[in-house]
Amino acid sequence: MLSPLEPTTIARENHPISRSMLDPDVVRILYRLKHEGYEAYLVGGAVRDILRGDVAPKDFDIATNARPMELRRLFRNSRIIGRRFRLVHIFFGPKNIEVATLRRTVQPDVDNDMLQSEADLPLDDDRMWGTLETDALRRDFTCNALYYSIHDFSIVDYVGGVRDVEDGIIRSIGDPGLRFREDPVRMLRAIKFAARFDFSIEANTAEAIHNCAPEIDKASRFRVTEEIFRILTQKNRHRGLALLDEYGMLDHIFPTWVAAIGREGLEQVTEFFDVVEQHAQQGRFLPLEVLAAGLFLPMLDEVDTEHDNFQHHSARMLDEVRSISREMDLPKRLLTSVSVLLRGQLYLLYNANRPKQTQRFVSGSEFDWIWRLHDLAFGHIPELHIMQERWLTLRERLPAPIGGWVDTPDQRDIFSFRGITGGGRRRADEPASIIASPHEISGERKDSDRRPRRRRRRR
């Protein structure tokens, strides 16, 4: 048995976290637990973010020694979720707050083939529950293992996390190689946090990511895709993409994509996300559909409007996009929107001189998104300026100003695109896809829908 660690305790007067910064429902849960005789802490992202100077965290995680069944009894508005982690969600309208029982890492049972991990333990098995110390040590990074106690309003730090937050460092708890092999998604989390906060990755942790990069193949595809899209939708996404590349993650996660776009294509995509970032810093955000389409910009290169034809070219391009997107595990609905946006890019190039088509196309509901993507990706290319002027003049004749921005970062997670009935996780209050259905594609597509099908030519 290891001897207990001595935590550092930072008293209330020496740290900035106050109850007024927390969601009132979170404070209520913490007090309720305390009054029932349990330990109760705020932990994870919210503590880290307030220490970093972000006084309005959006996501609150609670840790307590109350067991899941006890939490269920205490909070009628709650539900136990997750096979592996058995968290309790407490609902307040559409908002839910995550409460986790203090845990420890369960070692696989070598004498019992059936028992390999926490997931195999029955809910009332004591082996998975632990103390504040064991709970801190099973967390991923030092900055994520800080506990704000509702008992004396202090911060309890077993791992040197406060100093690492102050110094801007992402550091694995324990041996980084072991921790990354235990759960390879942690490597993506390290990159996600380093990019988002502009933190550096501590040398041993960084070396372990380089060495363990191939392990990412063993992780759940679902979690990997989710983390990649978090990186692309969060602050400093261009740095996130650069770090994914630097640590060899892209070669393992998206090998077909990397091979198809090449080094130059990757630079083009990184530049696009750099421009997206500059707009985000001015409060102009883009929906996930447009960001996802940005990954495929290199597929649009080498357009030859004189010798090629729009229909053939877009069919060819979309075939390629579809086959690459398979390894990305993109939900179908997202892929549909991405296809509309990419096809629209070719439409702008091929059809700028056809007055009937252009008029209809600019009036389509998705034109502004298509235009926005074009402008961000190709707006700076002098050879395209005449064509751009043409579209812009037409569009400006319409009464509504050009849209194509959203006011807040897109918080939808990528799997919300599977839809409510398609095993999706879209909450009722989350907006649907920007492009409602493939049948709403405007311009020539509608036209061709109306045209009677051509009879198949007999040989």
The catalytic residues are 59, 61, 140
Q: Is 183 in the site for ligand ATP (CB under 6 A)?
A: yes
Measured distance CA(459)–CA(53) in Å, rounded: 72
CA atoms of 320 and 332, how far apart (whole Å): 15
Choose the binding region for ligand ATP from 67-75, 140-148, 157-165, 303-311 (rule: CB under 6 A): 140-148
Q: Token pair for residue 426?
A: 């879209």
Nearest CB to ligand ATP, comparing residues 131 and 357: 131
Gap between the terminal Cα atoms of the chain: 81
**Considering only residues 171, 186, 395, 412, which one is a binding residue for ligand ATP as defined by CB under 6 A?**
186
Give the x/- contact pattern for Mg ion in 44-83, rule: CB under 5 A: -x-------------x------------------------
| CB-based contacts of 290, cutoff 8 Å, min separation 6 | 341, 369, 372, 373, 404, 434
Residue 186 partner contact from ligand ATP, Mg ion, none using kind-dependent CB cut-offs of 5 to 8 Å: ligand ATP
Instruction: Restricting to residues 51-110, name those near ligand ATP by CB under 6 A.
Output: 59, 61
Instruction: Pick what 140 binds: ligand ATP, Mg ion, none; C-beta below 5 to 8 Å, kind-dependent.
Output: ligand ATP
| 185 contact choice in Mg ion, ligand ATP, none (CB below 5 to 8 Å, kind-dependent) | ligand ATP
**How many angstroms separate the Cα of 392 from the Cα of each of 202, 284, 290, 372, 385?**
48, 20, 19, 11, 10
Distance CA 92, CA 79 (A): 12
Helix 355-363 × helix 367-378 angle, to 10° = 100
**Least Cβ distance, residue 98 to Mg ion (angstroms):** 7
Which of 71, 106, 185, 288 is close enough to bind ligand ATP by CB under 6 A? 185
Which residue type occupies 101?
T
Q: How far is the CB of 278 from Mg ion (least distance, A)?
A: 27
Farthest CA pair distance, the chain: 87
**Which region, judged by CB under 6 A, interacts with ligand ATP, from 181-189, 290-298, 384-392, 434-442?**
181-189
Closest CA to 246 of 209, 220, 295: 209
Of 145, 212, 340, 387, which lies in the binding site for ligand ATP, with binding defined by CB under 6 A? Answer: 145
> What secondary structure does DSSP assign to 414-449, as a single string?
GGGGG-TTTT----TTS---SS--GGG--THHHHHH
Mask: binding to ligand ATP, 155-174, rule CB under 6 A, as x and -?
--------------------
The reply on whether position 22 binds ligand ATP by CB under 6 A is: no
> What is the radius of gyration, based on Cα positions, of the chain?
25
317: which DSSP letter?
A: H
Q: Which is nearer to Mg ion, 47 or 253 (CB)?
A: 47
The residue whose two tokens read 């007067």 is 13
Least separation in angstroms between CB 67 and Mg ion: 21
Verify binding: residue 184, ligand ATP, rule CB under 6 A.
no
Q: Which residues bind Mg ion (CB under 5 A)?
A: 45, 59
Q: Which residues bind ligand ATP (CB under 6 A)?
A: 44-45, 59, 61, 139-140, 144-145, 183, 185-186
